[in-house]
Every structure is written in C-alpha cells, then in structure tokens.
C-alpha cells in the first residue's frame, strides 16, 4: 500500500459530466503533483503545488482544474473532457520541490471518457 491515497480507483464519465479526483497524503509533504500517464508511456507532469500554491501548470487545457484545499489534500476537477483524456491520473507528493527530493506516487485513478 502506498502512503499517497487516490480516489476513486476507476472512473467512467461522459464528455458532458463534471467529476473530481481526490488525492490525500499524511507524510507532512508540502509539494504535490498531478501526472497523466497513457499506456506504455512515462508519466507526464500536469500541475505542481508548493505550499498549497500552484507553481507549475504545464499548459494543461482548462477542462482540468486543480485545487489544493490544504497541505494534505489535492483535487483535480474535470469538466467537458475528450476521449483522448482517457488515461491513468497519478498524484505524487514530496517533502518539498527542492533538489534531490523523491516523489512518492499513489496508485492512480483510471479514467475512461465515453
């Protein structure tokens, strides 16, 4: 079991739906990340939060909206997604965004867009 917990594990949604992905960690980490991973590809960075502030947005479409309510929680709000957005969405955390800090990943949410 990982120390980064993601819910739900699986999500199927239509292109007009609104849903949210949730990520939680209790390791005292102050940096949290969202990644997208397609089959047989490495993870691609989407967003970085540092001390609850958005510090990096890797040109992600506005249909993905991140939120960091507190230092332990990270949400990803989804709206009007496209079929190509189907992927494994991974959350990760690290002590800080500083040098040599390893990121610890959750097991992801498998998202399917109908």
Partner 1 sequence: EDQVTQSPEALRLQEGESSSLNCSYTVSGLRGLFWYRQDPGKGPEFLFTLYSAGEEKEKERLKATLTKKESFLHITAPKPEDSATYLCAVKQDYGGSQGNLIFGKGTKLSVKP
Choose which of 28, 42, 69, 83 interacts with partner 1 (CB under 8 A).
42
Three-state SS string over the chain comes to: CCCEEEECCEEEECCCCEEEEEEEECCCCCEEEEEEECCCCCCEEEEEEECCEEEEECCCCCCEEEEEEECCEEEEEEECCCHHHCEEEEEEEECCCCCCCCCEECCCEEEEEC
Choose which of 55, 61, 77, 114 interacts with partner 1 (CB under 8 A).
55
In angstroms, what is the minimal distance from the CB of 36 to partner 1?
12
Choose which of 43, 46, 68, 76 interacts with partner 1 (CB under 8 A).
43
**Interaction between residue 68 and partner 1 (CB under 8 A):** no
**Interaction between residue 28 and partner 1 (CB under 8 A):** no
Binding site for partner 1 (CB under 8 A): 2, 4, 6, 41-43, 45, 48, 50, 55-56, 88, 90, 92, 97, 99-108, 110
């Amino acid at each position: 079991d990982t120390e980064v917990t993601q819910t739900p594990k699986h999500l199927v949604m239509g292109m007009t739906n609104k849903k949210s992905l949730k990520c939680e960690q209790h390791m005292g980490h102050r940096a949290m990340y969202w990644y997208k991973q397609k089959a047989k590809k490495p993870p691609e960075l989407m967003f970085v939060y540092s001390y609850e502030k958005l510090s990096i947005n890797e040109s992600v479409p506005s249909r993905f909206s991140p939120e960091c309510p507190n230092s332990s929680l990270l949400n990803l709000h989804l709206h009007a997604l496209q079929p190509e957005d189907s992927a494994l969405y991974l959350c990760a955390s690290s002590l800080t965004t500083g040098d040599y800090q390893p990121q610890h990943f959750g097991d992801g949410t498998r998202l399917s867009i109908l």
